[in-house]
Amino acid sequence: MIVIRRFQVRSAPWHFFHRGRWAPIVTTAGIVLYHLLSVALAMAFTGAFITRIFGSDAIIRSMDGWDFPLWLRFPAAWFEMLMSLGLLVPAYRCITVYGVYAWAGVTIISHLIAGDNIMAGIHLLVACIASVIQLLEERIISREAV
């Protein structure tokens, strides 16, 4: 973004939404979507934490079938809980999204190696939701800076 005196030159194709009568609607909808996606993803990670910590039979069978040690589910569960809490705190949300990317990369690779393509697709969807959260956050921050 190039700032010339008090005017901004925008290169984005949606620059016409920044001014005019649609500006409050787009900004409000973006903020609401940003918070809804963050809370939904945090709830998903909390559910995964509960499932792993209390030893769901499916989790134990899958880890046993993939030759992972069963104790590995505890650090994975606590990492998911940290991501859940990080998504709920706006100050840590950006850094948490990078943690979600790392988590998704590891889980996608492990599910593809195990031949579980559907779960790999679900983790890819979680990474896509995290990237939408990151894009909305950058847009909200740049909007507040103007």
| Beta-bridge mates of residue 9 | 2
**pTM higher than the cut 0.75:** no
Neighbours of 15 (CB within 10 A): 11
What is the domain partition of the chain in residue ranges? Answer: 35-145
pLDDT digit string (tens) for 27-80?
Answer: 777 888 889 999 999 999 999 999 888 877 877 777 777 777 888 888 989 999
> Which of these, 103, 120, 102, lies nearest to 66 by C-alpha position?
120
pLDDT digit string (tens) for 3-32?
Answer: 444 444 444 444 444 554 444 445 777 888
Residue-level pLDDT at 8:
47
The backbone torsions φ and ψ at residue 66, rounded to the nearest 5 degrees and listed phi first, read -90, 5
Task: Over range 118-138, report the average pLDDT.
Answer: 91
The SS3 assignment for 24 reads helix
Structure tokens at 66: 């993939």
